[in-house]
Structure 1
Amino acid sequence: MDWDKLRIFHAVADAGSLTHAGETLHLSQSAVSRQIRALEDMLGTTLFHRHARGLILTEQGELLFDATSAMVRKLDTTAARIKDSEEHVYGELKLTTTTGFGTLWLVPRLAKLYDRYPDLKIDLILEERVLDLPMREADVAIRMKEPNQQDLIRRRLLNIRMRLYATQEYLSKNGVPKRLEDLARHRIICQNPTTPQVTSGAILSKMLLSQNSPSTLLVNSYFGVLQAVQSNVGIGVLPDYVATDVPALIRVLPEIESSEVPVFLAFPEELRTSRRVSAFRDFVLEEIQAMKKGQNDSETN
């Protein structure tokens, strides 16, 4: 099938007008019209309903437009990868990580990444499901366990733990627990142990809920837990990296915490030379180092 005709068809379908498509393609309206008629003759079908207000795709036209849209996206992606060989970081980067890490740690730092690479287009997928990187469901993943898929480049970023936090206002009003049994007089905020999350977090939450607190709040994301804690609802289970960005949080019962959770960055071997992937990896590593320095400074003080 003639790509020039498909390209012109796609522009017309996208614009809904022969005139506007011609302006985009730098062709006359009559030249665009001839190409559309030739394509319709070749396919033996009508692709547009012609109205005074413009052009509307027929059912057959919609099918073809879906196909050309997929082709255009593929070409745009390919062009971006070719651009990666240049110094300019450009194009789409599909990222995936957990809802908690994405909302609480990654998203608040993306403004700095965009400042550095203003032409970067990020598609961020936040979910607990492990996406298939070799099948290109995503370009880069940050996961709370070491990936077991083959042909992946992986790097351990840090280890995290789930800990207990509250606000000064809440503790001033309700008292500071001194031992585990004291939690029976406080409201516990955590994820339901049965919801998708890291195993160590589920174990800690299950143990805390067994203290027979008279009131609990179960939230299906750490972002929700943080909002509740900051609103003085109770004592919450949160990953330790949150305390770096929210210094007003006060750690409660420091001897109680989950086991370590490893955090890995991974991407397919075929993207080893991608400038977009390298730029994102280097940015994350810089931010991790800055966070660790902040944690060390805080502990020193």
Structure 2
Amino acid sequence: MSRAVARLEAHLGYPLFERHAHGVVPTPRAHDLRQRIEASVQALEQAFSDLRKPFRGGRRPLRLSAVATLGTRWLMPRLSQFQKRHPDIDIALRPSRPEETTWLEDVDVWIEIKRPGRPWPRNITARYLLGREITPVCTPAIAQRLKTPAGLLRETLLHHTNLPGNWALWLDPAGVPSDKVKLGGGFDLASNMIVAACSGMGVAVIQPCLVERELSTGELVRPFARTVSTGRGYYLCARKGVAEDGPAGLFMDWVKAMARSGVG
């Protein structure tokens, strides 16, 4: 647990706990982080708990991990289909650990973000799944004001704090000089950025697969049809030699079919 906390603090760049001789006390930033992620974490835990209930005593376990936002917003709404097709497979959730150097020895299949300049280990099979493309999304009210991509310069441009260059990636091919961009609110979780966009705080640039529900209900719309590749995306990973007829192989075939049939 201590090592996990240390990795998280190193990733965030600030301490989450004040350590005293008499114990450990969460910092104000730790309380803020908990408020931001608690609902998503609880949703994941509850979803996997519900999925495991019919499989008690199942003969074939599958240890699965997925990046949090993709897991809650794209994978979980579909996973019941895999459950119905393979009722003998017992799915167990493992947390996503993108900084892990041992490559998830306690996981059979995981979905990870491809990071430029970071090669996959030789013993890992990694295939692109989805999420490479990004596009602006906003409320219908904001979209009515956007006649051309240049109009985005007059709007609040929401962005992921780890990926501030995404707006430039989209705007430059649209003929809008990115050096004129003034980014608005930054979010360290894509799920929070989506909520902000739905509330009308501004325009977000994001993968369409993460806002399928909002696009289908009309909460969010795409003011422009253009999509641009980031060169990253989500990758389906497993150790080499996975049996095609085993739980991991069956899941990989199924989830690739879901990605081909869904919104990219």
Tell me the TM-score normalised to structure 1 length.
0.54
- Does 2:62 match 1:93? yes
Structure having the higher Rg: 1
CA distance in 2, matches of 1:130, 1:93: 20
Question: How many residue pairs align between the two structures?
Answer: 194
Shift of 1:281: 0.8
Q: Provide structure 1 residue ranges, at least 5 long, that are not aligned to the other structure.
A: 1-87, 196-200, 296-301
Indicate how the Cα distance of structure 1 residues 132 and 279 shifts in structure 2: closer, same or farther if over 3 A, else same.
same
Q: Summarize the alignment of residues 87-126 of structure 1 with structure 2, pairs less than 5 Å apart.
A: 90-118=59-87, 119-126=89-96
Indicate how the Cα distance of structure 1 residues 210 and 96 shifts in structure 2: closer, same or farther if over 3 A, else same.
farther
Letter in 2 for 1:125: P
Which residue is 2:141 aligned to?
Answer: 169
Q: Is the 8 A contact 1:177 1:183 kept in 2?
A: no
- Does 2:197 match 1:229? yes
Which residue is 1:63 aligned to?
Answer: none
Q: Give the secondary structure class of the aligned counterpart of 1:216.
A: strand
Q: Give the secondary structure class of the aligned counterpart of 2:95.
A: strand
CA distance in 2, matches of 1:91, 1:220: 36
Which residue of 125, 129, 139 corresponds with 1:157?
129
Indicate how the Cα distance of structure 1 residues 170 and 183 shifts in structure 2: closer, same or farther if over 3 A, else same.
closer
Q: Give the secondary structure class of the aligned counterpart of 1:122.
A: strand
Indicate how the Cα distance of structure 1 residues 144 and 225 shifts in structure 2: closer, same or farther if over 3 A, else same.
same
Letter in 2 for 1:129: E
Q: Is the 8 A contact 1:99 1:221 kept in 2?
A: no
1:219-238 residue CA offsets vs partner (Å, 9 max, x unmatched): 11111111221222211121
Q: Give the secondary structure class of the aligned counterpart of 1:126.
A: coil
Q: Is the 8 A contact 2:135 2:207 kept in 1?
A: yes
CA distance in 1, matches of 2:86, 2:58: 6
Which residue is 1:8 aligned to?
Answer: none
CA distance in 1, matches of 2:112, 2:200: 30
1:179-228 residue CA offsets vs partner (Å, 9 max, x unmatched): 33x33321221111xx3xxxxx4422467796454x82211111111122
1:115-167 residue CA offsets vs partner (Å, 9 max, x unmatched): 3334513214235435633x614211222328511222333334621221112
Q: Give the secondary structure class of the aligned counterpart of 2:185.
A: strand
Which residue is 1:140 aligned to?
Answer: 109
1:23-61 residue CA offsets vs partner (Å, 9 max, x unmatched): xxxxxxxxxxxxxxxxxxxxxxxxxxxxxxxxxxxxxxx
Shift of 1:177: 5.0
CA distance in 1, matches of 2:195, 2:59: 35
Which residue is 1:204 aligned to?
Answer: 166
Indicate how the Cα distance of structure 1 residues 153 and 255 shifts in structure 2: closer, same or farther if over 3 A, else same.
closer
CA distance in 2, matches of 1:276, 1:184: 48
Which residue is 1:284 aligned to?
Answer: 255
Which residue of 146, 153, 158 corresponds with 1:184?
153
Q: Is the 8 A contact 2:70 2:210 kept in 1?
A: no
CA distance in 2, matches of 1:103, 1:127: 16
Q: Provide structure 2 residue ranges, at least 5 long, that are not aligned to the other structure.
A: 1-56, 172-177
